[in-house]
Amino acid sequence: MLKVLDQKRETKDNFSLILEKPGGFNFYPGQYLDVELPVSDPVGKTRIFSISSSPSEDYVMLTYKIGFSSYKKKLQGLKAGDIITSSHPAGTVVLDDSAPTVMLAGGIGIAPHRSMIKWALDRKLDLPITLIYSNSDNDFIFKKELNSWQKQSAGRRTKLSIHYIITGSNGRLTKDKFKKLYPLPFTLYPIFYLAGPPKMVDDFEVILLKLGVDSTNIRTDRFDGY
């Protein structure tokens, strides 16, 4: 059971649900929660949400895209003081700081990546992070915050580099575009984290494999039904 503290608008289509962090609530950056709401919805009463806050922050944040289902309407109507039912944190796609990190996010797929980036910065991990973030327009979730973190990371142990891709005007991220942003060869054997719509994740996983990336260095998180 988690208590709602606030709802925060991130973009015109996305909100973050801010929840009280109970004592002993522990999780790894990149994990998710199953959240159950008392609704009658053909898809069911439960949805999966990546935790977008970092374990180093004093609240729990779930970021979601608005929708018109009974579940989404109930979610959007939650107010401070309301109580929601959730699972324990779960998921195996978590930050591995043993190698350089490359994150490819599509839309709402930025949620687990925000958790990982914030954790790395707060822990001052010796970890270069490249974020390649695709969205249909310039209304990127967390853009102001991410840009601030990128600026602050200059000269620090955790070096954050961000590339924004507006697919609506510039087209999808392709193999050739990616190679310009992250030149080959991958001499340092980075770990790739892919999060976003299933087709985006599937397509780019194939691209990485064709580029010679070992499958064990590709971690995927498919956001279905958003």
Average pLDDT rounded to a whole number, residues 156-169: 90
Residues of the chain within CATH 2.40.30.10 domain(s) are 2-86
Task: Between 187 and 19, name the one with better pLDDT.
Answer: 19
Instruction: Please report the pLDDT score of residue 225 as a whole number.
Output: 61
Give the integer Cα–Cα distance in Å for 3 and 143. Answer: 27
Q: Based on DSSP, count helices (H) and strands (E) in the chain, helices before strands.
A: 6, 11
Give, in order, the Cα–Cα distances in Å from 72 to each of 67, 78, 140: 5, 10, 21
Q: Is the pLDDT of residue 154 over 90?
A: no
Edge-to-edge strands of the sheet including 2-9? 46-50, 32-36, 83-86, 2-9, 14-20, 59-65
Q: Is the pLDDT of residue 184 over 80?
A: no
188 pLDDT above the threshold of 70? no
CA distances to 49, 51, 71, 148, 173 from 35, rounded to whole Å, are 7, 11, 10, 31, 32
Does a cis peptide bond (omega within 30 degrees of 0) precede residue 89? no
Sign of the alpha-carbon dihedral angle for 2, 124, 106, 187: negative
Residue 226 has pLDDT above 60, yes or no: no
pLDDT at 176: 87
Name the CATH superfamily for 2-86: Translation factors (2.40.30.10)
User: Taking residues 6-16, what's their average pLDDT?
Assistant: 96
Residue 55, classed as helix, strand or coil, is coil
- The count of other CB atoms within 10 Å of the CB of residue 18 is 17
Query: Could you name the CATH architecture of 101-222?
Result: 3-Layer(aba) Sandwich (3.40)
Model confidence at 110, pLDDT cuts 50, 70, 90, reads very high
Mean pLDDT, residues 40-58 taken together: 94
**Residue extent(s) of CATH 3.40.50.80 domains in the chain:** 101-222
